[in-house]
């Protein structure tokens, strides 16, 4: 099949590369000429395990190409997939300007029947807006061309997106015509050979399913963090509680690990967007409001533990392990590390930080003045953060931080704040550390 994917961000590039891996001819379109040139030169703009190999191989095989021209790509394609960004607005709503701009351009150049797929995460009703934007341009041209708009949300986890795409749990397709359903069924047939993973539903239901899924997972995280905070005040160890409730198959162990809050490009944005959608419809989303409020507060717990131990943090040096919002990515959007470091610098502390991947991202995330004045230092080796440090904070549970050399750490400092409950508090306290976990 010949496919055009519009947008070479996280979703677009992974989707285009994986479709090409299955033998489809895929053209990825992006308005950023520099980005397209770098992709043609083999430079992958995001860190995602396995993605560079897939992109390089499919590009070398001629199955994956990159261009800045949507009309050129549309001239020889069977399916258009919109995968542009929908950043949050000030009120939390999803910004659809990029999606609708693409829809308008499609309408200006559409020449034959086409299935237009919304792959971006968009609010309920967006497919109707896309259809209207395309039809408006067709009417302005005075032409009548049949097209379908389909909702096909992605369910990719950063750090395992290629594996998720190639071996999906489910493939949700919201379509209103049999012709569009047949095309989507053919597109995804190679991904559901062991069992039928395609779930067809209405377009609005598909749009809602994406938000509902992410908000459910965010709810589990915030709920467990709520329980952890209560355990801390009652003298109970939340890790034992977690094991106790996770053994119930109705609950399970996934997404019930307490910590310092969720981040990234999906959960925070989607929770806020669903809250905004609910309020616009005249419904007060009490549960989602609480999920969001708990997460925002949870990101501040690490600083609170340091402040409780030291009192004033003026002049202290704090070592930080982990900057990305989760392991196996360089994404720092909405990361707990950003909240912590901002609080520490504001309190007069200095920060020495290490992350295996996200160092370059951090240089863009924080003011350059902080690096120039030595307020924030990024180090190359994880143990270099210990130099002159008063405390160590684990923010991101990268594998290399899970079993560190505590004897070496003890020679430099005696305070550990474990933001992901990776360490044994009994062992560390026996070694003479002041240990602070989440709910422990």
Q: Give catalytic residues, as residue numbers.
A: 266
* Partner residues linked to 415 by β-bridges: 434
- Which H helix or E strand runs over 310? helix 301-310
Give the neighbor-by-neighbor strand order of the sheet with 114-118: 64-67, 25-29, 2-6, 79-82, 114-118, 147-151, 171-174, 198-201
**Sign of the Cα pseudo-torsion (114, 93, 282, 261, in order):** positive
CB 385 within 8 A of CB 321: yes
Rounded to 10°, the helix 51-60/10-21 angle is 50
Quickly list DSSP for 335-368.
-HHHHHHHHHHHTT-EEEEE-SSTHHHHHHHS-H
Residue 156 DSSP class: P
Distance CA 303, CA 438 (A): 12
CA-nearest of 311, 359, 365, 356 to 333 is: 365
Distance CA 411, CA 414 (A): 8
Distance CA 35, CA 38 (A): 5
């Amino acid at each position: 099949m010949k496919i055009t994917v519009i947008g070479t961000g996280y979703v677009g590039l992974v989707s285009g590369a994986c479709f090409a891996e299955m033998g489809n001819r895929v053209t990825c379109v992006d308005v950023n000429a520099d980005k397209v040139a770098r992709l043609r030169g083999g430079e992958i703009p995001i860190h995602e395990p396995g993605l560079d190999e897939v992109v390089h191989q499919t590009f070398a095989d001629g199955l994956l190409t990159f261009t800045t021209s949507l009309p050129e790509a549309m001239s020889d394609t069977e399916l258009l997939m919109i995968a542009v960004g929908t950043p949050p607005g000030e009120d939390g709503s999803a910004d659809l300007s990029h999606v609708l701009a693409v829809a308008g351009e499609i309408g200006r150049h559409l020449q034959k029947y086409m299935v237009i797929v919304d792959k971006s995460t968009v609010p309920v009703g967006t497919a109707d807006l896309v259809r209207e934007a395309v039809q408006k341009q067709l009417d302005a041209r005075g032409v009548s061309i049949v097209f379908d708009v389909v909702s096909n949300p992605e369910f990719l986890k950063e750090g395992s997106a290629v594996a998720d795409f190639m071996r999906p749990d489910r493939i949700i397709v919201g379509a209103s015509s049999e012709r569009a359903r047949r095309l989507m069924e053919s597109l995804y047939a190679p991904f559901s050979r062991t069992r039928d993973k395609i779930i067809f539903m209405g377009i609005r239901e598909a749009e809602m399913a994406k938000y509902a899924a992410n908000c459910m997972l965010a709810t589990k995280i915030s709920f467990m963090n709520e329980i952890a905070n209560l355990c801390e005040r009652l003298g109970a160890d939340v890790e034992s509680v977690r094991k106790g409730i996770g053994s119930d198959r109705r609950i399970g162990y996934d997404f019930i690990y307490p910590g310092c809050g969720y981040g990234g490009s999906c959960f925070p944005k989607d929770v806020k967007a669903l809250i905004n959608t609910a309020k616009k419809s005249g419904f007060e989303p009490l549960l989602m409001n609480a999920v969001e409020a708990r997460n925002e507060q949870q990101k501040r717990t690490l600083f609170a533990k340091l402040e409780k131990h030291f009192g004033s943090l003026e002049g202290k040096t704090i070592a930080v392990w982990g900057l990305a919002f989760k392991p196996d990515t360089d994404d720092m959007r909405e990361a707990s590390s950003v909240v912590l470091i901002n609080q520490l610098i504001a309190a007069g502390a200095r920060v020495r930080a290490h992350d295996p991947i996200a160092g370059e991202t951090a240089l863009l995330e924080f003011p350059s003045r902080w690096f120039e004045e030595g307020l924030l230092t990024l180090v190359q080796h994880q143990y270099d953060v210990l130099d002159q440090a008063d405390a160590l904070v684990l923010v991101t549970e990268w594998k290399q931080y899970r079993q560190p050399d505590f004897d070496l750490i003890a020679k430099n400092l005696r305070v550990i704040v474990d933001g992901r409950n990776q360490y044994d508090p009994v062992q560390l306290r026996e070694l003479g550390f002041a240990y602070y976990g989440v709910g422990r």
